[in-house]
Amino acid sequence: MSGSDSQGGVKGALERLVGLSGVERLLISVAALVLAVLVGGALVLVSGRVATCEAAAATYFGVGFCYDPIQVYLVLFNGALGGLFALNDPAVFNPNWSLFNFGLALTLKETTLLVFTGLSVAVAFRAGLFNIGTQGQLLIGALTTGIVVFYASGVTPSGVVGGLILIPLGITVGALAGGFYGAIPGALKAYADANEVITTIMLNFIAARVAFVLVDEFFKNPDSQVVETTPIPDFGLLLPVSSFLPFGFPQGGDFSLIALVFGLVLVGVLYFVIERTSFGYDLRTSGQQPDAAEYGGVDAKRTTVTSMALSGAIGGIGGAVWVLMVVGRWQTGVPAFGFDGITVSILAGNNPLGVVPAALLFGTLKSGSLAVQFQTGVPKQLVGVLRGLIILFVAMPEFFRMIGTRVVDLSGDDDTAVAADGGTVDDDASVEGGADDE
């Protein structure tokens, strides 16, 4: 096969991916999930065969295995729901199951944080910018929130009134700090043509080291042996609903329903902004056809900086929620929610509405993995591989589709682009305009 034939085959495959309907994309994702489970199950069987154990956990085809793949996946998803079904008979509902359980709280905690980081990455990706720096923006937002809210708690009243002041304050300063940190690579991209992938990766390391030094030298909790800020009083935190109502998730799960609702509202707002406003149109056009967007009057430099600042602000909100909902202070060892957000965004096809189910799937896998480690004896390394297989198989079709949207022209004319007013731009820069505004 010649090189041109192979290139044509690749382009044809990408064209088919880009042209898929929503139903077809959903079916592909389901098929990929099933395939990942089958491949992971085979891997569990092989590992269970070579491992040593006192008694076989399962017998297939007359051969004993130390690990049972069916049990592993049942525990994985059942554990994430807090034991909804009986393990010995998954068709039987667990009569002792309660909606407000610890396992589901862990799942929703992970989901909530991943909604924010997934949205952060999705905004930048829709603008044609590869923001790999959400982790750094989350970290800076978390640090700012931890410091500002702690010091503000000393001059605000306690109780409900103090919470109504401190929680919005913490989220606001986290967004501002993350937005500022996100605007830095945006400005470097716009005015110095610096590759945003490189600058955001570098800024991740800078954020981690600067935060460590600042806390260690100026804001360290004097009563702690580790590098962390002083804890925020309880009235300034996003506590579980069970803290002030007779029902709700247990406090040990570090999950606040208020944070999840806020995340869902933010999803709706961002979807409206991106899909229904002029700013969103400029953002999307800059990401899909930057030359046509600039010709149509879009300020590419301003859009780049604004998009990265918005992306960073959402990442900073994620950091603020992590501080206010999970740890109650800033501390070293911030989990890699920012990097996980990249996968969530790809799973969602960079669609804000798709971020929610993608984050839920990722959160289910993360919390369910803990149940597998404790209940089945499967090594945590193997559990991580199973989780990675599911993410890889489900994300790959959307990843290649995302690439396809950048290299494939579905209009059928490689020399024609869509201008910002709906007209077309030809090679000689002449324009056939769209309908004039009334």
- Per residue in 61-89, pLDDT (tens digit) is 888 888 889 888 988 888 888 888 876 66
* Residue from 328, 332, 342, 322 nearest 178 by CA: 322
Higher pLDDT, 193 or 313: 313
Under 8 Å between Cβ of 49 and 67: no
- Per residue in 299-311, pLDDT (tens digit) is 888 999 999 999 9
Residue 416 has pLDDT above 70, yes or no: no
* Residue from 230, 227, 238, 229 nearest 333 by CA: 227
253 to each of 119, 230, 259, 366, how far by Cα in Å?
23, 21, 13, 14
CA 342, 346, 352, 357 dihedral sign is negative
Tokens coding 291: 């030359």
- Contacts with 53 (C-beta within 8 Å, 6 or more apart), sequence order: 66, 377
Question: Distance between CA atoms of 247 and 105, rounded to whole angstroms?
Answer: 13
Q: Please state whether beta strands 89-93 and 63-65 pair in parallel, antiparallel, or not at all (unpaired).
A: unpaired
Tokens coding 69: 């793949």
Question: Distance between CA atoms of 179 and 311, rounded to whole angstroms?
Answer: 7
Question: Distance between CA atoms of 242 and 249, rounded to whole angstroms?
Answer: 6
Global pTM value: 0.85
Tell me the Ramachandran region of residue 350: left when phi exceeds 0, alpha when psi lies from -120 to 50, beta otherwise: left
Mean pLDDT of 101-105: 87
Higher pLDDT, 252 or 344: 344
Percent of the chain topping pLDDT 70: 86
- Per residue in 260-281, pLDDT (tens digit) is 999 999 999 999 999 999 888 8
Domains in the chain: ranges and CATH: 15-97+377-407 (no CATH), 103-366 (1.10.3470)
* Residue from 318, 278, 304 nearest 135 by CA: 318
Higher pLDDT, 73 or 427: 73
Question: Distance between CA atoms of 317 and 113, rounded to whole angstroms?
Answer: 9
Which neighbouring-strand residues pair with 417? Answer: 425
- Per residue in 354-401, pLDDT (tens digit) is 999 999 999 999 888 888 888 888 888 888 898 889 888 988 887 887
- In this structure, of 54-63, 153-162, 241-250, the range with the lowest mean pLDDT score is 241-250
